[in-house]
Structure 1
């Protein structure tokens, strides 16, 4: 499948609705999956987010403090639970696959800005603006990826979709711990509070053994 065929219909009308597909109403700090996520090489802690989510964009500045307080390197997975999120995921992983999996903070912020602020009703203008963002960081536009790059992109997207589906993610930002605990970020008062929950969950299985 050609990437352009998939992306073009999405450029016309992308709503910023990816923060929640069906937000949970409980106030518990975390929930436990009945069946753990089976995706290979899953980080101990994974932040699940979307470029089209304003809360996720705000969370970016807190991640270093959370990592330091919880003593863990936090991985990332972009949700795919609706059309808006999938569109954003394609953009994100087009960048990730060209930066050896480690896009800079500046690049990620530029992607947030494009998705949330930079789009118009003109699909061709959106395409041109996205190309400028990628060119600024020495990257190839998602529209101009070669077949090998497209394969890498869709492999990453498929993995993200598996995480989204297996974890039953319906609201972001959230954190997946040990592949089985879903953290309710809205039930926490601060980055320190969130880090404490992450630390507790990382140790939970070890303590039970």
Structure 2
């Protein structure tokens, strides 16, 4: 499938609805999946987010503090639980696959800004603006990827979709720990409080053994 054919309809109207997809309220700091996520080589701690989520954008500035306090490098996975999130995921992984899996903080912030502030009712204008964002960072627009790059993009997207489906996550930002613990970020009072939960969960299984 050609990437342009898949993306064009999504540019017509992209609502910022990816922060939540009918998320249930909960007071507990984390829940445990009955069946762990089966994605291979999943980081011990993964931030599950969306470029179209304002809360996720705010969370970015706290990630270094959380990593330092928890003593862990946090990976990222983009949700695909609705059309808005899937569109944003395509953009994110188009950048990820061209930066050896490590897009710069500046690039990620530019993508947040484009998705949340750069959308218009003109699909062609959106396409040009997105291309300019990628061009500014020496990357190829998602519309102009070659077949090899498209294959890498869709492989990454399929993995993200698997994480979304198997985890059952319906609200972001959140964190997936050891592939089985879903952290409720709203139940934490600070970055340090969240880091303490992540650290505890990361070591939970090893302590049990």
Q: How does 1:78-97 map to 2 (within 5 A)?
A: 78-97=78-97
Alpha-carbon shift at residue 22 of structure 1 (Å): 1.6
Q: Give every structure 1 segment of 4 or more consecutive aligned residues whose post-TM-superposition deviation is greater than 4 Å.
A: none
Instruction: State the partner residue of 1:113.
Output: 113
Count of residues in correspondence between the two structures: 209
Alpha-carbon shift at residue 208 of structure 1 (Å): 1.4
Instruction: State the partner residue of 1:51.
Output: 51
TM-score, normalised via structure 2 length: 0.99
Alpha-carbon shift at residue 106 of structure 1 (Å): 0.2
Query: Residues of 2 paired with 1:106 and 1:81: CA distance?
Result: 26
Instruction: State the partner residue of 2:42.
Output: 42
Query: Residues of 2 paired with 1:16 and 1:61: CA distance?
Result: 20
Instruction: State the partner residue of 1:60.
Output: 60
Query: Residues of 1 paired with 2:110 and 2:79: CA distance?
Result: 18
Query: Residues of 1 paired with 2:69 and 2:88: CA distance?
Result: 29
Matched position secondary structure for 1:59: helix
RMSD value, Cα: 0.4
Alpha-carbon shift at residue 49 of structure 1 (Å): 0.1
Matched position secondary structure for 1:43: coil
TM-score, normalised via structure 1 length: 0.99
Query: Residues of 1 paired with 2:107 and 2:95: CA distance?
Result: 8
Instruction: State the partner residue of 2:185.
Output: 185
Alpha-carbon shift at residue 11 of structure 1 (Å): 0.2
Query: Residues of 2 paired with 1:24 and 1:95: CA distance?
Result: 31
Alpha-carbon shift at residue 53 of structure 1 (Å): 0.1
Alpha-carbon shift at residue 39 of structure 1 (Å): 0.4
Structure 1 stretches lacking a partner, 5+ long: none
